[in-house]
Structure 1
Amino acid sequence: MMRFSHTALAALASASLWSPVLCTQVWPDARTDRLEWLLYEQLGGYGSPGIAFFVHDCVGIGNETQGVNFGAEWLRNAYHDMSTADTIAGTGGLDGSIIYELDRAENVGHAFLETRDSFSGLVTTRSSLADLYALGAVFAVGACSNGSMILPLRAGRIDAREAGPSGVPEPQQDLATHTASFARQGFNATEMIELVACGHTIGGVHGIDFPEIVPFVSNGDPDDEHTSTFDTTTRFFENKVATEFISNTTKNPLVSGANVTTRSDERIFNSDGRVTMRKLAESNDYFTSRCSTLLERMLNTVSKEVVLTEPIDYYPVKPRAAQVDINANGTMTFSGVIRVEDALLTSPNTQVRLHFVPRNGSQCSDATPCSVTNGISGNFEHATCVYTKCPATFSFFEYSLVVSSEQGASSFMVEIVDGDTGASVIHDNNGNGFPTGESLQPQYKLSTQETFLIPGPDNTFESKQQLNLTVAVLNAEQFTNVTAIFYEHKIPGINTGGWTTESVELTLSRKVEGTNFTFYTTSYSRMFNDPIGAHPFDLVATGPGR
């Protein structure tokens, strides 16, 4: 089902309609919050899509006998997307352009389509496909190393709107061509050897895609990829690709395959007299260290106009699914979920309390006392990783608090109380409090979606969906316009390539009796021609000096 989702509201929450104390991070952060959710709530969690499960055990569940390795596919996809970069000119890089380049001989295989389809449903105005491709590579390396290699993830990549130049290295090309290609990408001759070894420690060559490299006789099984692996431990990210090369026991088809022309790894690995490959073979720690460095650089190779964020760290305490409902009896309800790092839950009986700061006070005091929830327990969900060495795991606490609309709440703090000792710690979002965003809030309980069938060409019918949206505005007299900005995909069905926008002005509906809130409404219709993902909207209120 198609759905609309509200993604702005100071990035307070990404909600869908239809469908430790010393932490220096401040929530919310519109550039990173959605990726932080995907990166650290890999399995379980509150509404997690569980995309990382596809690379569970590196190869992915159900792929053991088919020659398919999702971890290798996701890493290869990121490299192919990046590898047409020109770092001198500052163009290309990891930008999602590969979705327009799948008809090229340098991008053979259905793995790229599979990867696109795995991630395209997660594209929003807060998470580009290029960022998601980087996320996939981080998941792949983490899963295939069982968490011993966690690549830092930065956000901010911009999706390309058209194909980039060709230039992905191909097995039949000579050493000079490969060296020049990697130099254009920003890697010297030694780094070329290392990066190829890093990329070829998992996965292999699929005969169904490269029969000239891996000849095969069909066995009648359409799921058999006839894969020849790069080393003997295809699901583990370690230096076997180097040790087996140095010991001359490798079965890597790009080293010892019958087709001499396509022995690209042999030419590259031997290009400096095996000096680099010997170093990689001597120490697995050295191998993984070099791979971590080079793969991170690969993911951060972007065009010159892109400004990446700092590496995304997790919030020890983070609000989720926050919602504010304006009630008819002069009250308002704050509800949502608080995600807490398990390391902060010091006993099984630990409880969480929320202290809501009234809107006319900057902090809780005798004059402006906070409204406090009862102790919340339950931990109804749990989030963890697909690999053993997980940076953090999390528990979740649901809350709901009714307060006077006159009092309201501009922010809240989270108190974690040890159930055994009674000791408590306050988490205040690095001194900022966690903002509620009460001044401009969609009212989901008062909003609806309708679906219509309208006549189409040749006696057919097409689906049209309409969102009937109600928004609550605090002190509406301060504003002259309340607008909803709706985003649509430029390329329906692919879910990337940028967005088109349509601004719709909301109409004043009525003042909510006994409160300082006013309801505004609008309706927005669109044809149901894009079944992938959510269709986000932002809310903006403007007025004199605002």
Structure 2
Amino acid sequence: MQSGTIRFGFTDLVVPCGFNSNELGRQVAAEWIRTVFYDTITHDKSKGTGGLDASIMFETHRGENNGAAFNHTLSELPEFVSPRFSGADMLALSLVSSVPGCGGQKVPLRMGRIDAARAGQTGVPKPEHNLKSAMTAFTKAGFTQEEMIALVACGHTLGGVHSTENPRIAGGKPSPSNKPNVDSTSANFDNVVVKEYLGSSGVNPLVFGRNETTNSGKRIFGSDRNVTMAKMKDPKTFQRSCATVFERLIYTVPSAVKPSAPIELIDIKPYITKLKPSGKQSGVTLEGRIRVRTS
């Protein structure tokens, strides 16, 4: 859908999955997914505020949003934003593009989100927070314990931890090349992050890190005695769970927002570039092009 001539071009940034914009240590797909999570997780379900509203554009200076990933993502979206296509919708599309582009299951896309005009509330869970604090943040945003575990697992199957931004977690000398991956297949959307956790042997610095204080993944994964992670050890269950919980994530929006019906791709897309009278009494001439879906 995103190949061929005169294409939209948005997914060029996440194909192949390990694409890094020629910047050492980057992985665009992982950054896009993380940005959506950080923008959304401060939602307050009881008040109907926050969620996926692009308020993170006003929040990158906060300590809970440290790192270049968010500014990278926000700098890549503006050319695609328009009066009919909000920044929040583009963030949703960035996740929807990244997951299947890296081998994951399709996530349904709805439109109609409204961009925030100012910064939202604080409250992003941090690696050093204890389990109770993390669960409180997810519950406030409307997620169950099982959804919390799935979100953290699905959100950490790509990419890694930048030592230049999180030296206590990454360990070693901070440098762009020192970026411990979250699993041994960090450019594939798969359940290796789950298998390595359950096998007590892996590379995830949020699970197997030297500093137990920042092993937030380990605490969250084991919070239900590994019941959820055991289910997600099955590849099909993992993919299905990720698609479901990511759909929940991108539709966690302020209560005033009413998303559209799911958008479905069409096989033939016409683009009319010129429409004029044909010279005959009731005739009309149109010119344009069509794109034919091949996959």
Shorter-chain TM-score range: over 0.9
Letter in 2 for 1:60: F
- Residue number in structure 2 paired with 1:79: 37
Provide the residue aligned with 2:51 in structure 1: 93
Larger radius of gyration: 1
Shift of 1:102: 0.4
Give the whole-Å Cα distance in 1 for the aligned partners of 2:117 and 2:271.
Answer: 32
Tell me by how many angstroms 1:209 deviates: 0.9
Q: Which amino acid aligns with 1:43?
A: S
TM-score by length of 2: 0.93
**1:332 positional shift:** 6.2
Match of 2:26 in 1: 68
Decide whether the 8 Å contact of 1:324 with 1:335 is kept in 2.
yes
3-state SS in 2 of match to 1:209:
coil
- The Cα of 1:329 is off from its aligned counterpart by 10
Is the 8 Å Cα contact of residues 275 and 285 (structure 2) preserved in structure 1? yes
Q: Does 1:119 align with 2:70?
A: no
Gaps of 5+ in 2: none
Extract unaligned runs of 5+ from structure 1.
Answer: 1-39, 343-391, 393-546
Deviation, structure 1 residue 315: 2.3
The 5 A counterparts of 1:24-173 are: 40=1, 42-46=2-6, 48-60=7-19, 66-145=24-103, 148-173=104-129
Paired letter, 2:4 = G
**C-alpha distance after superposition, 1:497-537 (max 9, x if no partner):** xxxxxxxxxxxxxxxxxxxxxxxxxxxxxxxxxxxxxxxxx
Query: For 1:352-501, what aligned pairs fall within 5 Å after superposition?
Result: 392=295
CA distance in 2, matches of 1:298, 1:96: 13
3-state DSSP class of the match of 1:43? coil
* Identity fraction in percent: 39
- CA deviations 1:368-403 (Å, max 9, x no partner) are xxxxxxxxxxxxxxxxxxxxxxxx3xxxxxxxxxxx
**Relative to total residues, which structure has the larger strand share, 1 or 2?**
1
Say yes or no: does 1:239 pair with 2:195: no
Cα distance change on mapping 1:287 and 1:329 into 2, 3 Å: closer
**One-letter identity of the residue aligned with 1:285:** K
User: Would you say how many aligned residue pairs link Structure 1 and Structure 2?
Assistant: 294
1:111, 1:218 → 2: CA distance? 17
The answer on whether the counterparts of 2:272 and 2:286 sit within 8 Å (CA) in structure 1 is no
Q: Distance in 2 between matches of 1:111 and 1:341?
A: 32
Whole-Å separation in 2 of the counterparts to 1:296 and 1:304: 16
Contact 1:44 1:50 in 2 (8 A): no
Q: Does 1:292 align with 2:250?
A: no
For 2:240 and 2:16, how far apart are their aligned partners in 1? 21
Q: Give the superposition deviation at 1:203.
A: 1.0
* Deviation sequence 1:310-347 (CA, Å, 0-9, x none): 111122333214322468999864211133344xxxxx
Structure 1 CA distance for aligned equivalents of residues 128 and 289 of structure 2: 54
2:257 to 283, 306, 329: 306
* Amino acid corresponding to residue 9 of structure 2 in structure 1: G
TM-score between both structures, scaled by the size of structure 1 = 0.51
3-state DSSP class of the match of 1:319? strand
Superposed CA RMSD in Å reads 2.0
The residue number in structure 2 matching 1:183 is 139
Please state which structure has a larger fraction of its residues in helix. Answer: 2
CA drift at 1:51: 1.8
Match for residue 225 of structure 2 among 267, 273, 286: 273
Letter in 2 for 1:115: T
Equivalent runs, 1:175-214 vs 2, <5 Å? 175-214=131-170
State how far apart, in whole Å, the 2-side matches of 1:214 and 1:337 are.
51
Match of 1:459 in 2: none
